[in-house]
Amino acid sequence: MYQPFAVVQSVAKKKFRWRRPRHTLKGRQNGREVERIGLHLQLRKRQAEAGDIVLLYGDESEALTHPYLARAWAKSGADMRVPAPGQAKKVAIMGSLNHLSRELTIHTSLTKRSSDFIAHLEQLDQIYGPKPGQPIKPVVLVEDNGPIHTSKLTRKAFAARAHWLTVEWLPKYAPELNDIELVWRDLKGHHLAHQTFLDATALDKAIHDAVGNLNRERMPDPLAKLRISA
């Protein structure tokens, strides 16, 4: 049955929208390995939720003094522009996301080296490492095979923590298995977007302030599971 062009156009508008294409990683992924590790991480999540382990998702990101441009509401027909004076400076962010509490722990630096990652591990020592007089709770850290995670210096640091820290290695090109990726997107797309920072020091402060806000937003409600006393 013939349909008027206006009707077809209306249906097309509902089913289609103008989008930017993205590269797929499926051609680079080992599908079986991604599926295997994905199932294994589901078991790790159940262990964490049962209180048997602490599950952390680790990764690195970076932010620039030039503004991160995310989607934003704008007046129809207006050309949105954000000033970006001078040369962009970079701040690297080493982070670990607690699966259960959703708390993000970060270490910032001007470089992204093994020594910077080890400084972040030392942060994890203080929060999750063994404490005198307390039982050791195993920690599982999910990481990719990036150079700063597999260097001799980092491997030595992992070996020194092997009595309480286990590393779960992600397969190559599988960011969808790392829960922290969504947090990086939230951090840059909402908390750091559309802002210009005078220098790396100002950006560093903004990152820590933003992570503090994120942690307050994402942390589970402590009153959500209160038990009624007898």
Mean pLDDT of 188-193: 90
> Which tens digit of pLDDT belongs to each residue from 119-171?
999 999 999 999 999 999 999 999 999 999 999 999 999 999 999 999 999 99
Note the pLDDT of residue 12. Answer: 52
- What CATH number does the domain located at 51-65+87-220 have? 3.30.420.10
Question: In which band, very low, low, confident or very high, does the pLDDT at 5 lie, cut at 50, 70 and 90?
Answer: low
Distant-in-sequence contacts of 185-193, Cβ < 8 A, 24+ apart: 186/214, 187/61, 187/211, 187/214, 188/61, 188/63, 188/68, 188/70, 189/68, 189/70, 189/71, 190/70, 192/63, 192/67, 192/68, 193/67, 193/68, 193/69, 193/70, 193/72
pLDDT in tens, 21-51: 655 566 677 889 999 999 999 999 999 999 9
Domain positions in the chain: 51-65+87-220
The pLDDT value given to residue 3: 54
